[in-house]
């Protein structure tokens, strides 16, 4: 048996005992990162090339450090992003919202759509839109300096056509020069109530930045309320907004986008697990 595959099997057992949600996948990803190959290529690593640093990585994962912080990379749609301490690790659930954004942009009768990503973090959303909608112009706002460094690195590495413009600013006040001109606003803001702290997985609450997790207010929706006001300011009539929330907040977020504030076609949409995940709305034209 290939030595590395044998060690991956042992690591899988250790990570399972430690409570990892996906122990085999984690072990393979750690091994791939250490040996500089893709997961599908692990069988090609010869016994003499085995790198004992693999067990250092496994120990860190056992202790609860996020997989992506150990490897320094996160995968999102078609992107490989640089991540680490101080920036929110993008989740697969958000990919569904980005898919809706891309479908909506394709349906718009706009030659060069203008998109704003509020609270961009690693720039996962902004870069995915730029990569998959080649004519889109994307402004991405992030207020945390550490996260902004990660976003800058990713944009420099992955924004081949120069579509993404980063802004270090609070998204409640940013981009006034674009007021009334934006076609679509998207955001994965913080939305977890502090009352839910004990239910948040340890590797999330101990390692993801707090400003990217805790939404503020008793219901955790203060940041989403800021997104609503900012989107209302930025969007042109008929423009769209998409904002992520937890699977328990769909009804509450729906009512944040109130008709009396000009919102139309408000809908709660589901992720791949069929749970409420994001709300979309259109700014009225009347």
Query: Which residues are designated catalytic?
Result: 88, 188-189
Contacts with 223 (C-beta within 8 Å, 6 or more apart), sequence order: 119, 189, 190, 191, 215, 216
**Is 54 within any annotated ligand binding site?**
no
CA nearest neighbour of 58 among 86, 87, 38, 29: 29
The response to whether 50 counts as a known ligand-binding position is no
The closest alpha carbon to 76, from 66, 88, 60, 64, belongs to 88
Q: Show the DSSP H helices in the chain as ranges.
A: 3-17, 23-35, 53-62, 67-71, 92-107, 124-132, 145-158, 202-205, 222-234, 250-256
Beta bridge partners of 238: none
* Residue 257 in marked binding region: no
Task: Tell me the C-alpha distance between 270 and 276, whole Å.
Answer: 4
Closest CA to 81 of 42, 115, 126: 126
Name the residue among 92, 7, 97 with its Cα closest to residue 49.
7
- Residue 28 — φ and ψ, nearest 5°? -65, -40
Distance CA 2, CA 6 (A): 6
Q: Tell me if 142 is assigned to a ligand binding site.
A: yes
C-alpha neighbours within 13 Å on the C-beta side of residue 233: 17
Check the annotation: does 254 bind a ligand. no
The reply, when asked if residue 191 is annotated as ligand binding, is yes
CA distances from 223 to 124, 169, 213, 220, 284 (A): 19, 14, 10, 8, 22
How far is it, in rounded angstroms, from Cα 247 to Cα 131?
Answer: 28
- Assess contact for 229 and 189: CB atoms under 8 A: no
The binding site for substrate comprises 188-191
> Could you tell me which residues are annotated as the binding site for S-adenosyl-L-methionine?
142, 171, 188
Binding residues: 142, 171, 188-191
């Amino acid at each position: 048996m290939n030595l590395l595959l044998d060690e991956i099997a042992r690591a899988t057992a250790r990570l399972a005992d430690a409570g990892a949600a996906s122990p085999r996948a984690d072990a393979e990803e750690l091994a791939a990162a250490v040996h500089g190959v893709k997961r599908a290529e692990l069988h090609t690593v010869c016994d003499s090339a085995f790198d004992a640093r693999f067990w250092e990585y496994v120990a860190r994962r056992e202790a609860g450090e996020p997989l992506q912080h150990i490897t320094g990379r996160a995968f999102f749609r078609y992107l490989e992003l640089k991540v680490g301490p101080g920036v929110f690790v993008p989740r697969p659930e958000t990919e569904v919202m980005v898919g809706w954004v891309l479908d909506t942009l394709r349906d718009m009768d706009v030659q060069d759509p203008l998109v704003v990503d509020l609270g961009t973090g690693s720039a996962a959303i902004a870069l995915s839109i730029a990569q998959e909608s080649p004519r889109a112009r994307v402004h991405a706002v992030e207020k945390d300096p550490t996260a902004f460094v990660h976003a800058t690195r990713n944009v420099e590495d992955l924004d081949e056509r120069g579509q993404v413009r980063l802004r270090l600013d609070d998204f409640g006040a940013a981009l006034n020069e674009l007021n009334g001109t934006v076609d679509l606003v998207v955001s994965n803001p913080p939305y977890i109530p502090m009352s839910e702290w004990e239910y948040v997985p340890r590797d999330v609450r101990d390692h993801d930045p707090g400003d990217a997790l805790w939404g503020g207010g008793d219901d955790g929706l203060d940041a989403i309320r800021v997104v609503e006001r900012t989107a209302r300011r930025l969007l042109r009539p008929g423009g769209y907004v998409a904002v992520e929330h937890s699977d328990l907040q769909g009804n509450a977020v729906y009512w944040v986008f109130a008709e009396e504030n000009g919102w139309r076609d408000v809908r709660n949409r589901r992720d791949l697990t069929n749970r409420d995940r994001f709300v979309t709305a259109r700014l009225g034209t009347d």
